[in-house]
Structure 1
Amino acid sequence: MAQLLDGKTLAQKIQDDLKTKIPDWVAKQGRPPGLAVLMVGDNPASAAYVRNKERACEKIGMASFGKHFPADTTQETLSEAIAQLNEDEQVDGILVQLPLPKHLDDVALLHQIHPDKDADGLHPLNLGRLLRGEQGIRSCTPAGVMEILKAYDLSVAGKKAVVVGRSILVGKPLALMLLAEHGTVTMAHSRTPDLGAVTREADILVAAVGKPNLITVDMVKPGAVVIDVGINRVVNEETGKGRLVGDVDFANVVNVAGAITPVPGGVGPMTVTMLLQNTFLSYCRKLGV
């Protein structure tokens, strides 16, 4: 059986650490760190994510400035809201909850967020800093993956790492982070011929596609570290009940891998935690620390 990489427990540990630090900073500075989350419409999944983020803020003593807009909100209204948050001294991090309704230009809105308040690490300037190896805010989910590897002393240096998925949210930034830690990185995707032949070479295999059970046991090198970023809801046709599964066939791969993240309870909790950590770091940098 593979070692389980418990992202839920690690996320709680990091949040507890922030919870301990924040009161001292509030006593010195007169205000807590502040995170603003903008949500448009009533997508149930997005609403659940936003609630989780707002609760997490409350638990650690971080101020939450949630702004919820109706589905027919205009680009101009959201643009104006972001401009106001950029100027708000109480706000250290800004997040636009994706996906947005189709009539909105999400890229333009993300670009408008001030890079120093870009809690999700998706502004071109922060992605450019990652590419150049410079200090800056890192994308939350990839940063969470790297924290898991670090917490379990799973060194990347000298290892073959394969990232399946090339999104700007996870695949591309994570490949750069693994490269920065001296891994030899291969990116695979939907047009990669013989995907299994590529993944079987991986000492560290990351699945970030959004396709249930894409990675089967025959695609995994024995003893490999398997990081499952996928979060997919599947419904039992007989009972009608849904459950979350990853991109990895966990039930079988767990018997071959050396270490593996479960779904749920693996990478997911780390994403929200890194969002909080990014906001706290922005708060500290604003104060010159």
Structure 2
Amino acid sequence: MIIDIKDYYDKLIKKLNKDISSLGFTPKLSTIRVGEDPAAISYEKSILREAKKLNIGVKNKVFEKNTTKKEIEKYLAQENKSDANGILIFSPMQVDFDQKIIFNKIDADKDVDGLSLKNFNKIFSDQDYINLPTTATAALNFLRDNFDLASKNILLINRSLIIGKPLAMMLLNEDATVTIAHSKTSDVKNMMKDFDIIISAIGKARYFQNVELKNDALVVDLGISQKDDKYYGDFCRKDFIDSSIKYLPAIGGIGRLNACFILRNTYMNGVKNDK
């Protein structure tokens, strides 16, 4: 069974539209892109498209590839002090230094993609999960709104700071039992048959095929990778078309919600700061 996320997306947009239209101000998002990375450009377009639907103002700044750290930091410091309610830096940045240096200089109260480590402790205290990594936040919200997570055994195949680790803590907060697997875990494919929910974000095209799963399992595919000029998830979609196993595909799945949660964070920051 293939899960269609469209209805959930439509409800999310409708609620955000209603909430934002009742404000006495227009939320503002400041975006920064360095270089011409195709994934960054694609995400930028989706942000602009969704922001237009929600009447959120967007200020775009594009730097040339390999712009100096000093120049980017200078602009970011300016935006940290501006009236923007959110700041989004598209990744990857095409720079010759560690991009995390820039991410960690984003004002924590404006860091709508949760790229700064300053916001990580919110996982332990704030179940609205504002200004935390949006893939993890979007996945959690979709699961929490559509399934009972308490007591579920969940296999999470990712340990990154932007998906695996924050999502694991969020799921624990919902009383799920979480097992994290990663590149050094042996025989992951054989493990899957024992879990109620499998969430994968390894980014290897159709890596998991014809694996044994529980009859009523839920599979959430967060891994997107390119192969032969096409994009695929970690699982093979056709394996689930006539199956009792519920499958949320990577293409058109949680990724479709990411821009919404960036803009939701922008709106929430505006409400919090009342400006």
Inter-CA distance 257–229: structure 2 relative to 1 (3 Å threshold): farther
Counterpart of 1:234 in structure 2: which amino acid? K
SS of the residue corresponding to residue 112 of structure 1 reads coil
How far apart in 2 are the matches of 1:34 and 1:218? 45
Inter-CA distance 218–231: structure 2 relative to 1 (3 Å threshold): same
1:260 paired to 2:268: no
Query: Once the two structures are superposed, what CA deviation does each residue of 1:28-64 show, in whole Å capped at 9, x if it has no partner?
Result: 2xx3111111100011221111011112111210000
Query: Once the two structures are superposed, what CA deviation does each residue of 1:187-242 show, in whole Å capped at 9, x if it has no partner?
Result: 0011101112322221010011100112223243221110000112222xxxxxx3
Unaligned runs of 5+ in 2: none
SS of the residue corresponding to residue 218 of structure 1 reads coil
1:201 paired to 2:194: yes
1:6 to partner: Cα distance: 2.4
| Aligned residue in 2 for 1:10 | 8
Moved more, 135-144 or 58-67: 135-144
Counterpart of 2:101 in structure 1: which amino acid? A
Counterpart of 1:252 in structure 2: which amino acid? D
Identity over aligned pairs, percent? 29
Q: TM-score, normalised to structure 2's length? A: 0.93
1:107 paired to 2:115: no
1:78 paired to 2:76: no
1:142 to 136, 146, 149: 136
Inter-CA distance 157–64: structure 2 relative to 1 (3 Å threshold): same
Inter-CA distance 123–247: structure 2 relative to 1 (3 Å threshold): same
1:108 to partner: Cα distance: 1.2
Q: TM-score, normalised to structure 1's length? A: 0.89
1:24 to partner: Cα distance: 2.1
| Aligned residue in 2 for 1:56 | 50
1:19 to partner: Cα distance: 1.8
2:125 to 126, 129, 133: 133
Contact 1:213/1:247, CA 8 A, preserved across alignment? yes
| Aligned residue in 1 for 2:17 | 19
Contact 2:155/2:197, CA 8 A, preserved across alignment? yes
| Aligned residue in 2 for 1:246 | 233
How far apart in 2 are the matches of 1:109 and 1:257? 45
Inter-CA distance 74–268: structure 2 relative to 1 (3 Å threshold): same
How far apart in 1 are the matches of 2:3 and 2:119? 28
1:150 to partner: Cα distance: 2.7
Counterpart of 2:234 in structure 1: which amino acid? D
1:215 paired to 2:208: yes
Counterpart of 1:168 in structure 2: which amino acid? L
Aligned residues: 273
Contact 2:203/2:234, CA 8 A, preserved across alignment? yes
Contact 1:221/1:256, CA 8 A, preserved across alignment? no
How far apart in 2 are the matches of 1:165 and 1:210? 10
SS of the residue corresponding to residue 116 of structure 1 reads coil
Contact 2:36/2:94, CA 8 A, preserved across alignment? no
Inter-CA distance 257–117: structure 2 relative to 1 (3 Å threshold): farther
1:254 to partner: Cα distance: 4.2
Unaligned runs of 5+ in 1: 236-241
Contact 1:159/1:203, CA 8 A, preserved across alignment? yes
